[in-house]
Structure 1
Amino acid sequence: MRAVLSKIPGGPETLVVEDIPAPTPMKGEVMIEVKAVGINFPDTLIIEDRYQFKPQRPFAPGGEVAGVVVGVGDGVKHVREGDRVIAVPGWGGLVEYLTVPAAAVVPMPDGMDFETAAALIMTYGTSYYALKDRAGLQAGETLLVLGAAGGVGAAAVELGKVMGARVVAAASTAEKVEFARDLGADDGLVYPSGKMDRDVQKDLSGGFKRATGGDGADVIYDPVGGDYAEPALRAMAWNGRYLVVGFPAGIPALPLNLTLLKSVSVIGVFWGAAVMRDPAAHVANMGDLMRFWSEGRIKPRVSRTFPLERAHEAIQALGDRSVLGKVVVRVGS
């Protein structure tokens, strides 16, 4: 079978496409014929050995797949050949065939296509866990989403509206802000790109506060980090909750005195570990997300697709932060 492999640490250009033996499902596993793979920011990190997990090489990146069950191991009763499923293996997905524990697969709802399925679980799962379980976002509160046109940011915009919040979208270009408005954001603002001096950061904090109604945001969803973090923290409301999701712009150093002055909570979001620690809560959240999709309340936006042979371009596009919504790699027919 064809596989996209990371053999040495490095950027997307180091990935190679090779033929390797297809796996065989062991006891408790299912074998999936992969149809689509969602590309996410961790894919840009894991191939450079900059992610929390460092799989042994060679390995295939790709942490989110959709496909058809074509084999089952001993003891598997609730999944059958021919079932259309979604799985989040963490890595290993950029292949034609993949084995995963049967308990880890999620049935695809009727009417959902493979590209949508491959674009759903990681981004919406992360954002729903963050907003619901970590921040306790309530109807009527104000949610500020940084990086609002990216995968998890776009999901946070949609889910914030589903949960009844007033959503303010922040992104680096007017096109991205408009994209977030199309997702349902109530307001938006463009923030500057690159490094910011203190004056620019101060102006940005004022812009955040004005956009969130003057009193500041009750919840901030930050998958960006870098120089954007402190201005956002300064624009929080009393008893606000600051969600730390990711750091493509760099790991910030927050002035903790601000958390005291505003009674603000800074909350880490590590969805992958949460899934492993509380699988029952994960199953419940997945049920909610599938229901939201079936009701038309969320809709993953896949802006670009690539064939398996060009998977490195998909990862590069995500690393360049040029993607609106999600990018997906198609596998097979």
Structure 2
Amino acid sequence: MEELTLQAPLVLPEDGAVQVQLSIDGAEDGRRALRVYSRPEEADAEQPWTVHATGVVVAGVPAGGWDLRVWPPVGAEAVAVAVDGLYERLSGAGLAYGPAFRGLREVWKQGEDLLVEAALPEAVAEDGAGFGLHPALLDTVLHALALQEPAAEGAMLPFMWTGVSLSAVGASAVRVRLTPRGSGDIGLRVADAVGEPVAEVESLVLRPVSTADLAAVNSPTAESLFRTEWVPAPTAGAKEPVESAGWAVLGDAGSGGWRDAGVPVTGYADLAALTAALDDGSPVPDTVVLPLRSTDTEVTDAVAGVLAVVRAWLAERRFAESRLVVLTSGAVEVASTEDGAREVPDLVGAGVWGLVRSAISEHPGRFVLADVDGEEASFRALAGALGESQFAVRGGAVWVPRLVRMASGGVLVPPPGADSPWRMEVAAQGRLDGVALVPQESRPLERGQVRVGVRAAGVNFRDVLNVLGMYPGDAGQMGLEGAGVVLEVGPGVADFAVGDRVMGLLDGAFGPSAVADARMLARMPSGWSFEQAASVPVVFLTAYYALVDLAGLQAGESVLVHAAAGGVGMAAVQLAQHLGAEVFATASQAKWPVVREFGIAAGRLASSRTTEFEQVFSRATEGAGVHVVLDCLAGEFVDASLRLTRPGGRFVEMGKTDIRDAEEVAAAYPGVSYQAFDVMEAGPERIGEMLGALLELFESGALRPVPVTSWEIARAPEALRFLGQAKHVGKVVLTVPAPWRERGTVLVTGGTGGLGAVVARHLV
């Protein structure tokens, strides 16, 4: 064999339950192309094969002029590390070998070389005659490498074979000399049980594979679940722009950031004007930029306009060696910012990206997609990034899209089975990425219950504490609220019907479906998105229950709302203002502009990161303090807030990490009542009443939903971390994919291609 390249590692299960297929194609020069495939033994005829290796076989390679008849060679020393326990260690690294692969017998060392003796177990020895060299025997030989100091980067697996020759067949026991050549490259000389040459490998390159990578490769979803992730471009720094003769812009070259950035370009009104200039003798530009102006433009009109330019570009032979750069702004979402704001892709630009991506795949090298943020540094960075076919520039930094497995980067993958119900729950308590999507049994509905197809679910600090193992008492299932569509109603439910869009408190909302008490549901207001509706129940019910039911806040009284830029904080500020109260608020200084939008004056707003708010608000109230405190802080912040509560005041605690004793508070702060609460204590009947009252306030315009930051449920660890670090403004929501239940005709463009065929099969 002249060379062999491994496409993907193959780790056989202990019972060997796998089908293996070998294809060999001949050629006139005697070279034969070889491919090795596999798929699970129980796979049906429609399941695709996974290619594991490709290679080229050449006949007539002479046997090597060496032998290993003197065994072990003179001067070789036995390796001190015992073979016993080797396969347990390999299994811990993600390489689980069955009985056929456990034939390692003895290992010696001579200089840097390893001398290995291995044999097929008796149960498979008879199969050896059917192979040139049994693959399990050859793989077993390489296990000797694990007897040395284990590599820190993970297990080492074969990656590329070069110069493979076979001079004998049918060996069931071998002697092998492994010669390391550095950088994971080794040579092999394989002899039979008496030392006669069997095979030689000039070079075998090994590559490290982590345990996580092995798990992803052998996962049932490994071959199909990928996602796009934007990463910093591998090139360091931007190059200087080329001379002006090499660049042209279709449009006003003096606008769009070119002149301010000092990029020399020549402007043409459109592609026809550029073509006319070429007819008059102007040089053909290397790079032509087509800026997309999406203001007040319909998506279809914009895409059609770009399509016309693309067709004209391909039809003009003089542009064959040039590239057309389609320049957009905000067409792709690269990353969220430190303050929690997320990019909202421009719909027109996104449509154009979809079109030009197709053109890139059909005509490599002719088109480039670039998305900029408008900063001068970003325009200067364009020239240095044109080696990529698609990229975005933010603040002068270049980002490129790359495919990564769905199972990497903290992304959650549902359990196997497209129709199997599942939910998100805590899998490893103590860290914010310790959640997983696990199977869930669908239970029958009891009287008064409703099954909701969840489309979005609100994330609360309760969920963060639950994952971290810090919630006092039983936190129950994750996901307390959400919005979706009614799938089923139980006995005694008359207010809802299948298909109704509803919102409210749910039991286990982090999944495709959840059960709810019908009394704690309400119909979604017209015009609301599922994300908006999912952001409302807990934050507004908590604020309403705290201020109206527990504190009895009256017009003319003063109230201190902590963390006023959070979901409950924003809801409480609006409710307090509606009730006619004087509002004082705290928030981190970066979020003050958000709080000021609710009309909170400068003297009534302070930082939630220090206890200086006590002095600020004490001065503002001339030492009198406030009537009501809605608290979610801990430690010295609670003490400072209690000191701000005037006699006869009410301190309501919704936090869970520093709950005080009400009698001790009353003794230390005479006249102050203290009550810690959970909104679920209100009971289903009262929760339903409060939800109805809140919806009336929304309909009248007295309240408005809080800002929402949403993640797909697959990115839940990221959302939990974001909330746990208090980076959010308003509410954090997880979206849940809706099942596709439509009937009728579906048009799949490119249906005969690889992706199109997969989509069509999935729809069927």
2:704 aligns with one of 261, 286, 299: 299
CA 1:213/1:297 → structure 2, altered by over 3 Å: closer, same or farther? farther
**Structure 2 equivalent of residue 179 of structure 1:** 594
Higher relative helix content: 1
Instruction: Specify the SS of the correspondent of 1:297.
Output: coil
1:191 aligns with one of 607, 610, 614: 607
**Structure 1 equivalent of residue 303 of structure 2:** none
In the TM superposition, what are the counterparts of 1:126-137 in structure 2 within 5 Å?
126-137=542-553
Q: TM-score, normalised by structure 1?
A: 0.85
Contact 1:67–1:114 (Cα < 8 Å) also in 2: yes
Contact 1:36–1:118 (Cα < 8 Å) also in 2: yes
In the TM superposition, what are the counterparts of 1:263-302 in structure 2 within 5 Å?
263-276=671-684, 279=685, 281-302=686-707
1:169 aligns with one of 576, 585, 588: 585
In the TM superposition, what are the counterparts of 1:312-331 in structure 2 within 5 Å?
312-331=717-736
Instruction: Specify the SS of the correspondent of 2:462.
Output: helix
* Counterpart code for 1:93: A
Contact 2:522–2:692 (Cα < 8 Å) also in 1: no
The answer to whether structure 1 residue 113 and structure 2 residue 533 are counterparts is: no
Q: TM-score, normalised by structure 2?
A: 0.39
- 1:20 is displaced (CA, Å) by 4.3
**Structure 2 equivalent of residue 259 of structure 1:** 669
- 1:192 is displaced (CA, Å) by 5.9
* Counterpart code for 1:259: Y
CA 1:192/1:182 → structure 2, altered by over 3 Å: closer, same or farther? closer
The answer to whether structure 1 residue 208 and structure 2 residue 208 are counterparts is: no
1:6-51 alpha-carbon deviations (Å, 9 max, x no partner): 2342332111124545555444432211011011111112233433
What is the CA–CA distance in structure 1 between the aligned matches of 2:543 and 2:632, rounded to whole Å? Answer: 10
In the TM superposition, what are the counterparts of 1:18-37 in structure 2 within 5 Å?
18=438, 20=440, 22=442, 24-37=444-457
2:633 aligns with one of 216, 220, 224: 224
What is the CA–CA distance in structure 2 between the aligned matches of 1:140 and 1:27, rounded to whole Å? Answer: 44
1:9 aligns with one of 423, 426, 429: 429
What is the CA–CA distance in structure 2 between the aligned matches of 1:155 and 1:328, rounded to whole Å? Answer: 16
Instruction: Specify the SS of the correspondent of 1:13.
Output: coil
What is the CA–CA distance in structure 1 between the aligned matches of 2:714 and 2:494, rounded to whole Å? Answer: 35
Contact 1:148–1:176 (Cα < 8 Å) also in 2: no
**Structure 2 equivalent of residue 145 of structure 1:** 561
**Structure 2 equivalent of residue 102 of structure 1:** 518
- 1:234 is displaced (CA, Å) by 1.4
What is the CA–CA distance in structure 2 between the aligned matches of 1:75 and 1:132, rounded to whole Å? Answer: 31
1:54 aligns with one of 462, 465, 474: 474
2:499 aligns with one of 66, 69, 82: 82
What is the CA–CA distance in structure 2 between the aligned matches of 1:142 and 1:55, rounded to whole Å? Answer: 33
1:89-111 alpha-carbon deviations (Å, 9 max, x no partner): 3x511001112233332222223
Contact 2:472–2:656 (Cα < 8 Å) also in 1: no
What is the CA–CA distance in structure 2 between the aligned matches of 1:93 and 1:20, rounded to whole Å? Answer: 12
**285-294 vs 264-273, which deviates more?**
264-273
**Structure 1 equivalent of residue 650 of structure 2:** 241
What is the CA–CA distance in structure 2 between the aligned matches of 1:212 and 1:113, rounded to whole Å? Answer: 41
Greater RCO (CA < 8 Å, at least 6 residues apart): 1
What is the CA–CA distance in structure 1 between the aligned matches of 2:448 and 2:582, rounded to whole Å? Answer: 44
**Structure 2 equivalent of residue 332 of structure 1:** 737
CA 1:21/1:285 → structure 2, altered by over 3 Å: closer, same or farther? closer
1:114-137 alpha-carbon deviations (Å, 9 max, x no partner): 111111111110111111111111
What is the CA–CA distance in structure 2 between the aligned matches of 1:66 and 1:211, rounded to whole Å? Answer: 41
Instruction: Specify the SS of the correspondent of 2:533.
Output: helix
Instruction: Specify the SS of the correspondent of 1:47.
Output: helix
Instruction: Specify the SS of the correspondent of 1:136.
Output: coil
Instruction: Specify the SS of the correspondent of 1:241.
Output: strand
**95-104 vs 183-192, which deviates more?**
183-192
Contact 2:520–2:687 (Cα < 8 Å) also in 1: no
CA 1:53/1:64 → structure 2, altered by over 3 Å: closer, same or farther? farther
Instruction: Specify the SS of the correspondent of 2:690.
Output: helix
What is the CA–CA distance in structure 1 between the aligned matches of 2:646 and 2:659, rounded to whole Å? Answer: 23
What is the CA–CA distance in structure 2 between the aligned matches of 1:102 and 1:218, rounded to whole Å? Answer: 36
* Counterpart code for 2:675: I
- 1:215 is displaced (CA, Å) by 2.1
Instruction: Specify the SS of the correspondent of 2:495.
Output: coil
CA 1:286/1:45 → structure 2, altered by over 3 Å: closer, same or farther? same
* Counterpart code for 1:95: G
Unmatched 5+ stretches in structure 2: 1-420, 739-764
- 1:257 is displaced (CA, Å) by 4.4
What is the CA–CA distance in structure 1 between the aligned matches of 2:488 and 2:653, rounded to whole Å? Answer: 39
CA 1:53/1:76 → structure 2, altered by over 3 Å: closer, same or farther? farther
Contact 1:24–1:31 (Cα < 8 Å) also in 2: no
Unmatched 5+ stretches in structure 1: 195-200
Number of equivalenced pairs: 315
* Counterpart code for 1:42: R
* Counterpart code for 1:224: L
**Structure 2 equivalent of residue 45 of structure 1:** 465
CA 1:235/1:26 → structure 2, altered by over 3 Å: closer, same or farther? closer
2:539 aligns with one of 123, 128, 151: 123
CA 1:101/1:240 → structure 2, altered by over 3 Å: closer, same or farther? closer
CA 1:75/1:270 → structure 2, altered by over 3 Å: closer, same or farther? closer
Contact 2:520–2:688 (Cα < 8 Å) also in 1: no
The answer to whether structure 1 residue 63 and structure 2 residue 480 are counterparts is: yes
CA 1:151/1:78 → structure 2, altered by over 3 Å: closer, same or farther? same
Contact 2:666–2:673 (Cα < 8 Å) also in 1: no
